[in-house]
Amino acid sequence: MAPKGEREATRSRRQGGFTLLEVMFSMVVMMVGLVSLLAVMTIAMASTQTSEQLAISKRLANEALESILTARETANVSWSQIANGNCSVGGTCGIFLSGAQAIDLPGVDGIVGTNDDAAAGPQVLEQPGSTGVYAGTCPPDSCISLTNYTRTIVITPYTVAGVPVENLNSVTITVTYINPQLHVPQNYILQSLISEYR
């Protein structure tokens, strides 16, 4: 057994608490954890913004496809007009504009992506305000400008082994937007087939 004086010295060292080195090391470990948590939160917020833009892109592409299908179903236009506006001499022209177009409201014909859309003005995505009810005006509703988006509608004859299938077209709708975090264009592409028959 150790002498009494030696036991008291050992006990006082054990009861002395943490050393400065231990406290500094624990602070470094805690700071690394907090910085990592901050990085994860930043990535989560950026992903939320990107997913909102992707959802808007899907909505705009579906809106265009539904407009094309509605034009066919209601017989507002002939089958030969459900094409891009590439006109040949003596032939009928398609009503859909070629190339990337601004997101405008449907024009007088009620069909998205045609010549009369520009006269109807830019489309705005309207969401309910703080009350959760559409008021029909901004504010109190929350309105999102769609100037960051463009839409391209490409309608071509569907082919199998290079041979066009009669009365069947391929529709490709591409919505492009600039990702604000990455500052690069991103695309959402919707492809479908449409036949002359209802």
Residue ranges per domain, the chain? 20-195
* Per-residue b or e along 52-72, where b marks 16 or more CB atoms closer than 10 Å to that residue's CB: ebeebbeebbebbbebbeebb
Q: Is this model's pTM higher than 0.85 or not?
A: no
Residue 9 has pLDDT above 60, yes or no: no
What tens digit of pLDDT does each residue of 93-146 get? 788 888 889 999 888 888 888 888 888 888 888 888 777 777 777 777 788 888
φ, ψ of residue 82 to 5 degrees: the values are -80, 75
The 3-state DSSP class for residue 103 equals coil
Measuring CA to CA, which residue among 90, 54, 75 is closest to residue 177? 54
Choice among 4-8, 39-43, 70-74, 79-83 with the minimum mean pLDDT: 4-8
Alpha-carbon distance of 152 to 96, in angstroms, equals 10
If you average pLDDT over each of 44-58, 76-90, 173-187, which comes out highest?
A: 173-187
Rounded to 5°, the CA angle 147-148-153 comes to: 85
Rounded average pLDDT over 29-33:
92
User: What pLDDT sits at residue 15?
Assistant: 64
Lowest mean per-residue pLDDT among 48-52, 55-59, 62-66, 97-101: 48-52
Measured CA angle at 28 (ends 25, 31), to 5 deg: 150
pLDDT tens readout for residues 61-73: 999 999 989 888 8
Look up residue 77 and give its two tokens: 């236009």
Give the residue carrying structure tokens 């050393």: 19
Strand order in the sheet with 149-160: 101-102, 149-160, 163-179, 184-195
| CA torsion through residues 155, 161, 162, 168, sign | negative
Taking residues 71-76, report their average pLDDT: 83
> Pick the residue with more confidence: 37 or 89?
37
